[in-house]
Amino acid sequence: MIREVIVVEGRDDTVAIKRAVDADTIETGGSALNEMTFKKIALAHERRGVIIFTDPDFAGERIRKAIAARVPGCKHAFLTKQEALSKGDIGVENASPEAIRHALDHLRTEMPAYEGTTLTWTDLVHAGLTAYEGSADRRMKLGEILGIGYCNAKQLLKRCTTFQVSREEFEDALRRLDTM
């Protein structure tokens, strides 16, 4: 059984998680997070730890950010859009048990910035991750390699800092990206 409580958006996500692993979940009920849900998540984080596992879409990212802002120090599980896509619908509920287990095996923990994170906006530009045609596709693939999900360039820099992606890890991911 997974020790942490997994925060998902809805009942279908809980069903998908339970098909893949033995875990407890808290459902946010979508993007309408209320004070009681935040209190449950904070209590779960205090007692067992929390893994935020939302859909890889705009609404899921908004929920992820809201929870992380209110309950700092959560772990994050990410699916790619391809792993979560079925019949035009994107969601955790569409992911295979294998994809869910893979995401849970590659968690990222949100931490305050530290001195070892020295990535800059210039690094993103030089890597072709912003300001160029195809930058969005490169960010999507890099996010998959690093296990931090897809995001715009500003958010990518923030996630690299928050998840303490070192320059070495970033450069290794870029080398892997360039061989794809």
pLDDT of residue 115: 58
Please report whether residue 114 resides in a domain: no
Instruction: Assess if residue 115 is contained within a domain.
Output: no
Structure confidence at residue 158 (pLDDT) = 87
Q: What CATH number should be reported for the domain holding residue 26? A: 3.40.1360.10
Mark whether 41 and 71 lie in a shared domain.
Answer: yes
The pTM for the full model equals 0.81
Which residues in the chain show pLDDT less than 50?
A: none
Is residue 31 within 8 A of residue 62, CB to CB? The reply is yes
Please write the tens of the pLDDT for every residue from 2-29: 999 999 999 999 999 999 999 999 999 9
Per-residue confidence (pLDDT) for residue 161, from 0 to 100: 85
Is 116:164 a contact under the CB 8 Å cutoff? yes
- Do 29 and 97 share a structural domain? yes
Query: How many other C-beta atoms can be found within 10 angstroms of the C-beta atom of residue 47?
Result: 9
In a domain, 116, yes or no: no
pLDDT at 162: 83
Give the three-state DSSP class for 43.
Answer: helix
Q: What are phi and psi of 174, to 5 degrees?
A: -65, -40
For residues 93 and 37, state if they share a domain. Answer: yes
